[in-house]
Structure 1
Amino acid sequence: MNRMMISLLLAGGIVFSAGAAGPAPAGGLKVFISVDMEGVSGLINWEETSASGRDYELFRRAMTEDANAAIDGALRAGATDIVVRDAHGSARNIVPDLLRPEARLLRDWSGGPMSMMEGIDDTFDAVFFIGYHARAGTPNAVLDHTNISSRLLGVVINGIEMPEAGINGLMAGMFGVPVVLVSGDQAIAAQARELFGDVETAVVKEAIANAELGLHPSKARALITEKAAAALKRLKDFKPYKLPPPYTLDVSFILESEAQNASWIPGAVRKDARTVSFAAGTLMDLFKIFRVSKM
């Protein structure tokens, strides 16, 4: 992206459409499901998350079936409009032909700041995070990382060290939509409860250092379905995840050179060799800055 595009993005001159199709039919619930891969049932190795990996085809189907389990639970609880956001890697992992036909699938990246939450807006009633993982540096967590495993050491917003669930929960909160379900390992379940309170969690595996002890996939998916339905049945118990303005963002990079590049963004403050800080008056501005900081 050239400098003019970056300037327009930071100034709010480029508008990214969420692409949602309006409210659900009267009496029904509209559910947004963001699906990552590292927290999918049975998955333990980076190779399994990459299109070049030997077992990738097996686990992209596992990702699809975990999403289907969440869709099934949502339908049982009265959902009439479901959008699934493929939110891992290329964003072309979920197998469209294998996804339940009641849901619509959003694939690939627009390049906009909403990223894993592309498509969310204020017409949704609830958000599910399926196949999610703990933040970078979490002990006993399956494939812990934050946003880009090869580039980022961590992300802190308003002093809170964020997993991707926290970042994406804030995006949903901008539109007044609560996160009601998170599936993955025991580590992300604990972090989700720290952020969102008494959120429903489907713990499909437990990390033991670099290994995992997991439920049989059929039992994992039955658990996801059960928890998805339970979450929507007590929807009134949940509140959108929000933080008070003004907003601060600290991005820590693995390479010093990447921090150097991000430090050229207007308003950036270099905190140390690897960390760059930013400030913004609105969350959308903060997410635009976050998007540009990784270019």
Structure 2
Amino acid sequence: MRIYISADMEGITGLVDADDVQPGGRDYERGRLMMAEDVNAAVRGAVAAGATDITVNDAHGPMRNLLPESLHPAARLIRGKPKQMGMLEGLGPEHDAALFVGYHSRAGALGVLSHSFMGHEIEDMWLDGRPVGEIGLAHATAAAIGVPVATLTGDDCACAEMAEWDASVTTVAVKYARDRFSADLRPSEEARTAIEKAVAARLSVPPKAPAATAVPSTLTVRWQSASVASTLLGIPGVTSADTRTVRAQGALPGLFRLFGVWMRVAASLTGQHPYC
């Protein structure tokens, strides 16, 4: 059984603030070790269920958060950037299931460190007219590749968002949002035990793979900056909905890859911090 893990950071056990998840933050070094512990719990669960090949993609920010020496020896690590598929780099139809570890709710939700990919640079996103964030877009892209998402870990708001997209995904709440930068935390050992057990149980009967599709979708993104939207219109196929909103049509996962190009353009035009 081949398992893929996409590891974000905002939804990791114990982390609630930008200083916990941004390089240079006063608690970042502790945060990256906490991230490794949650990932390792998922790896242990996958191994217990019979996984023989496990790939972990560091999907947060600079994508150099996980220290290779802190990762469970049963897993291989994809680290650094740029990556053509960003948070889903390395995911392919050969994988039997995907795990989303440390995920967070979308922009506008009152979840811990909630945002959609680029902090307040992205005000909102829609996939085929439906509000979407990192959870929904990653799930839809994995489904288009033909890989089922088995488990998601994060705060209770992230778990609820995942349930709205696909109720068959097992979710593990490691903290309960009080506000965007505060939470009621589960004890660390309790949370990691819950992750390990949930992954092992869910993978003991591997989830059914969705049929890989090439059905066109429409991705719409509303940016904080009209300059970003204006610049993106120079990319073939990108159209304007208003001065700050652009859209494009295409089949996933190609549309997900195109969105990665949008983010690189936006990053070149702005220098703002990811949280506000």
Aligned pair 1:68/2:37, yes or no? Answer: no
Query: Partner residue of 1:208?
Result: 178
What's the % identity of the aligned pairs?
Answer: 38
Among 100, 103, 108, the alignment partner of 1:137 is 108
Query: Partner residue of 2:51?
Result: 79
Query: Partner residue of 1:249?
Result: 219
Instruction: Spell out the pairing of 1:41-60 with structure 2 (5 A cutoff).
Output: 41-60=13-32
Query: Partner residue of 2:258?
Result: 289
- Once residues 220 and 252 of structure 1 are traced to their aligned partners in structure 2, the CA distance between those partners, rounded to angstroms, is 35
Q: Matched residue of 2:52: which SS?
A: strand
The RMSD of aligned alpha carbons is 1.6
Corresponding residue pairs, total: 263
Residue by residue over 1:223-276, the C-alpha shift from the partner in whole angstroms, topping out at 9 and shown as x without a partner, is: 10011111102324x453978722111011111111111122223221122111
Query: Partner residue of 2:268?
Result: none
| CA distance 1:175–1:288, shift in 2 (3 Å) | closer
Query: Partner residue of 1:8?
Result: none
Among 146, 169, 180, the alignment partner of 2:116 is 146
- In the TM superposition, residue 110 of structure 1 has moved relative to its aligned partner by 3.6
| Amino acid across the alignment from 1:137 | G
Aligned pair 1:164/2:134, yes or no? Answer: yes
Q: Is the 8 A contact 2:45 2:199 kept in 1?
A: yes
- In the TM superposition, residue 277 of structure 1 has moved relative to its aligned partner by 1.3
| CA distance 1:79–1:228, shift in 2 (3 Å) | same
Q: Is the 8 A contact 1:127 1:180 kept in 2?
A: yes
Instruction: Spell out the pairing of 1:1-295 with structure 2 (5 A cutoff).
Output: 29-112=1-84, 114-139=85-110, 141-210=111-180, 211-236=182-207, 238-240=208-210, 245-280=215-250, 282-294=251-263, 295=265
- In the TM superposition, residue 196 of structure 1 has moved relative to its aligned partner by 1.6
| CA distance 1:57–1:241, shift in 2 (3 Å) | farther
- In the TM superposition, residue 156 of structure 1 has moved relative to its aligned partner by 1.2
In the alignment, structure 2 segments of 5+ residues that lack a partner are 266-276
In the alignment, structure 1 segments of 5+ residues that lack a partner are 1-28
- Once residues 32 and 111 of structure 1 are traced to their aligned partners in structure 2, the CA distance between those partners, rounded to angstroms, is 16
- Once residues 58 and 164 of structure 2 are traced to their aligned partners in structure 1, the CA distance between those partners, rounded to angstroms, is 25
- In the TM superposition, residue 169 of structure 1 has moved relative to its aligned partner by 1.6
Q: TM-score, normalised by structure 2?
A: 0.91
- TM superposition outliers: structure 1 runs of 4+ over 6 Å: 241-244
- In the TM superposition, residue 159 of structure 1 has moved relative to its aligned partner by 1.4
| CA distance 1:185–1:243, shift in 2 (3 Å) | farther
